[in-house]
Amino acid sequence: MPGLWYEEFHVGQTFEHPITRSVTEADNMLFSNMTLNPQPLHIDANYAAGTEYGRPLVNSLFTLGLMIGISVHDTTLRTTIANLGMSEVNFPAPVFPGDSIRVVTRVQALRESRSRPTAGLVTFRHQAFNQHGVEVANCVRLALMLKRPVAGA
């Protein structure tokens, strides 16, 4: 199923995305190492055991990417031109290997593009929750979206 065209969004629209994903230790290790993040809190179980968490934390940038990725199928798949920015990024609770993540997205604002007549801007608010319903991440994302193609154009 493709994402939605700019015209198909409305302010207040809410998506409770059906895709969920359990985060594995391998996800965390691979992502941390691929991004050259040597933080022992993510990649060293012995070190992490001595912290207040008692175990490794999932890299927050992986959590951010997963949250947005889960939203793509229902919102922007094949209809986005570009992500223009992410703001108000927060991680109110940690994610641990073994946690399952679900995501809710709300449309906060819409605006026609001033420079591209075939596009509009959509402001999304994403929230990620673990299997216990605890919010683990949130952000505001601005996306440049395609408008529905004009027939015969």
**pLDDT value of residue 76:** 94
Which residues, including other chains, have CB under 8 Å from residue 28's CB and lie 6 or more apart? 42, 43, 56, 58, 59, 62, 97
Average of per-residue pLDDT across 34-42: 94
Name the band, by pLDDT with cuts 50, 70 and 90, for residue 151. Answer: confident
Average of per-residue pLDDT across 10-35: 97
Name the band, by pLDDT with cuts 50, 70 and 90, for residue 149. Answer: confident
> Measuring CA to CA, which residue among 34, 135, 123 is closest to residue 86?
123
> φ, ψ for residue 120 (rounded to 5)?
-145, 165
Six token digits for residue 24: 């594995």
pLDDT tens digit sequence for 41-53? 999 999 999 999 9
This prediction's pTM = 0.93
Six token digits for residue 131: 């299997």
Q: Is 6-146 a CATH 3.10.129.10 domain? A: yes
pLDDT tens digit sequence for 79-96? 999 999 999 999 999 999
**pLDDT value of residue 1:** 55
Domain boundaries, the chain: 6-146
**Does pLDDT of 57 surpass 90?**
yes
Name the band, by pLDDT with cuts 50, 70 and 90, for residue 3. Answer: confident
**pLDDT value of residue 2:** 77
Name the band, by pLDDT with cuts 50, 70 and 90, for residue 103. Answer: very high
Contact 35, 59 (CB under 8 A): yes
The tokens 């995305």 sit on which residue?
Answer: 17
